[in-house]
């Protein structure tokens, strides 16, 4: 077997790195000194049992926690490259962060708008009004999300009329439309049937050619199938981070091994 052949001929570029990040929900210490890199144009998966903090970590990247009172980032940070700025610093506008780091949610959440307007949303909030440019970019985003063929004839229909899998691809198109540097996926297939899941996974594999991907998943097979790097978290701590193949075949930590072999979690 060639399992020992390490597939890293070129060192990947760092897109973001989490450094000693502490996060609290009120008094609950949800992330404890978490450190991990995110590599450019790679898919990084966050795995771990429920409540381990993987979604919490993901939502730090686009400052989603700012929406709710009582949440605190404390110490450490997430440094975005190449500008080398800490996303969590006080002077950083969360809206600017979200303009660059987009997100796809667990349950498809299309807006109560037409398919076109759903995708155009992220462009319109940036002030883009030019009709032909909107048309072009919506089309490009829908093509990027492998949805164009199915919806090109009915862009004015409500997004909610699509099937679950199509709705999720619509949400991916919406996230793609503004050309983000990083897309966060929060268990994007957990509400979908196996066929829709397969199409989303295929899509993510294609997307990582162009954009950096960070994905939370409950499904270890999914992490193994689509990610280049995997991080295993437990109780708010980063237990192990590594190249996906290596982490699944030869985990360094006993805890990781117990989890991925199904002895726990």
Partner 1 sequence: MSNTLSLSEPSVADLSVSDRLRKKASRHMKERVIESLLFLAAAMSVLTTIGIIYILVKESYVFFQMVPLSDFLFDTQWTPLFDDAHYGIMVLLSGTITSSVVALLVALPLGTIIAIYLSEFAGFKTREIAKPFLELLGGVPTIVYGYFALTFVAPLLQKIYPDLPGFSLLSAGLVMGIMIIPYVSSLSEDAMRAVPMSLREGSYAMGATRLQTALRVVMPAATSGIASAYILGISRAVGETMILAVAAGMQPNLTFNPLESGATITSYIVQVALGDLPHGSIGYQTIFAAGLTLLLITLAFNLLGFWLRKKYREVY
Positions touching partner 1 (CB under 8 A) are: 62, 64, 67, 69, 95-96, 98-99, 102-103, 105, 107, 109-113, 121-122, 124-126, 158, 160, 171, 174-175, 178
Which C-beta is closer to partner 1: that of 188 or that of 251?
188
Q: For residue 127, is it left (φ>0), alpha (ψ between -120 and 50) or beta?
A: left
Looking at residue 65, the DSSP 8-state letter turns out to be G
Q: How far is the CB of 204 from partner 1 (least distance, A)?
A: 17
Q: How far is the CB of 7 from partner 1 (least distance, A)?
A: 32
Looking at residue 67, the DSSP 8-state letter turns out to be G
The secondary structure of 77-128 as a DSSP string is EEEETTTTEETTSTTS-HHHHHHHEEEE-SS----SSBHHHHHHHHHHTTT-
Lookup: tokens for 164: 């679950």
Contact between residue 217 and residue 197 where contact means Cβ atoms under 8 Å apart: no
Contact between residue 87 and residue 15 where contact means Cβ atoms under 8 Å apart: no
Which C-beta is closer to partner 1: that of 65 or that of 208?
65
Q: How far is the CB of 181 from partner 1 (least distance, A)?
A: 13
In degrees, rounded to 5, the angle at the alpha carbon of residue 174 between the alpha carbons of residues 192 and 16 is 90
Which C-beta is closer to partner 1: that of 97 or that of 224?
97
Which C-beta is closer to partner 1: that of 92 or that of 160?
160
Which C-beta is closer to partner 1: that of 156 or that of 252?
156
Q: How far is the CB of 171 from partner 1 (least distance, A)?
A: 7
Q: How far is the CB of 250 from partner 1 (least distance, A)?
A: 36
Question: Which among 256, 191, 172 is positioned nearest to 220, based on CA atoms?
Answer: 256
Q: How far is the CB of 17 from partner 1 (least distance, A)?
A: 21
C-alpha span between 217 and 224 (Å, rounded): 10
Question: Which among 253, 262, 199, 249 is positioned nearest to 49, based on CA atoms?
Answer: 262
Q: Is 34 helix (H, G, I), strand (E, B) or coil?
A: strand
Q: How far is the CB of 106 from partner 1 (least distance, A)?
A: 8
Which C-beta is closer to partner 1: that of 25 or that of 121?
121
Which C-beta is closer to partner 1: that of 95 or that of 235?
95
Distance, C-alpha 97 to centroid of its chain: 14
């Amino acid at each position: 077997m060639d399992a020992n052949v390490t597939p890293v001929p070129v060192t990947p570029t760092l897109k973001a790195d989490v450094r000693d990040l502490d996060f609290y929900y009120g008094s609950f210490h949800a992330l404890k000194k978490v450190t991990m890199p995110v590599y450019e144009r790679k898919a990084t998966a966050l795995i771990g049992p429920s409540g381990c903090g993987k979604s919490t970590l993901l939502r730090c990247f686009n400052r989603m926690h700012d929406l709710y009172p009582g949440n605190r980032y404390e110490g450490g940070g997430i440094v975005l490259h190449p500008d080398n700025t800490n996303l969590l610093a006080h002077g950083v506008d969360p809206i600017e962060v979200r303009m660059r780091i987009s997100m796809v949610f667990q349950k498809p959440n299309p807006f109560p708008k037409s398919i076109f307007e759903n995708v155009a949303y992220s462009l319109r909030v940036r002030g883009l009004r030019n009709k032909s440019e909107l048309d072009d970019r919506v089309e490009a985003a829908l093509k990027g999300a492998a949805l164009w063929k199915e919806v090109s004839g009915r862009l004015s229909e409500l997004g909610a009329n699509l099937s679950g899998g199509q709705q999720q691809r619509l949400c991916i198109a919406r996230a793609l439309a503004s050309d983000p540097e990083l897309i966060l996926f929060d268990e994007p297939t957990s509400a979908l049937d196996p066929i829709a899941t397969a199409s989303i996974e295929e899509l993510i594999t294609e997307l990582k050619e162009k954009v950096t991907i960070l994905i939370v998943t409950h499904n270890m097979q999914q992490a193994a199938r689509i990610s280049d790097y995997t991080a295993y978290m437990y109780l708010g701590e980063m237990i192990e981070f590594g190249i996906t193949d290596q982490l699944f075949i030869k985990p360094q930590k006993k805890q990781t091994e117990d989890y991925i072999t199904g002895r726990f979690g």
